[in-house]
Amino acid sequence: MSEYMVIIVGDADRWWTRMSAEERRQGYAEYGRFSQTLTERGHKIVGGAELHQTATAKHIAPGGTTVTDGPFAEGAEQVGGFFLVESDDLDSLLDCCTILTAIGEGIEVRPTVGPDERAS
């Protein structure tokens, strides 16, 4: 079985700053449907989390020791959360992800590097 990281990419702060309580409730219901659909199709969620708004981020530059506030990357797209999913069917996993794209989320799916793929 392969492991994939399903990365939610977009306006990471819209859930916290621009959505009404009802819009968030409806959005979270779709995330629940996404999780249920994954399970029904034989995928296994093994981890994941929603991230707090980008203003809570801390950054340490490569080679640096100074911690700065806020996200490092400037731009409209930030990571808002992720799922770690075990699957034998990438096409089905990608199809499940359309549940989230339908509510305005951008999704990136990447395989994780397994222990057998690392240099010894």
Task: State whether residue 63 is helix, strand or coil.
Answer: coil
- For residue 18, what pLDDT band results from cuts at 50, 70 and 90? confident
Task: Give domain status of residue 18, yes or no.
Answer: yes
Which pTM was predicted?
0.87
Task: Give domain status of residue 34, yes or no.
Answer: yes
Residue 29 has pLDDT above 90, yes or no: yes
Task: Give domain status of residue 41, yes or no.
Answer: yes
Cβ pair 3, 112 in contact under 8 A: yes
Task: Give tens-digit pLDDT for 32-69.
Answer: 999 999 999 999 999 999 998 888 888 888 888 888 88
Task: Give domain status of residue 120, yes or no.
Answer: no
d(CA 75, CA 94): 25
Residue 107 has pLDDT above 90, yes or no: yes
Task: Give domain status of residue 89, yes or no.
Answer: yes
> 13 versus 80: which is more confidently predicted?
80
Total structural domains within the chain: 1
d(CA 46, CA 39): 11
Q: What is the CATH number of the domain that holds 13?
A: 3.30.70.1060
What pLDDT is stored for residue 34 in this prediction?
98
Domain span at 10: 2-114
Task: Give domain status of residue 119, yes or no.
Answer: no
Q: Which two tokens stand for residue 60?
A: 């340490």
What pLDDT is stored for residue 83 in this prediction?
97
What pLDDT is stored for residue 75 in this prediction?
60
Q: Which two tokens stand for residue 84?
A: 């770690």
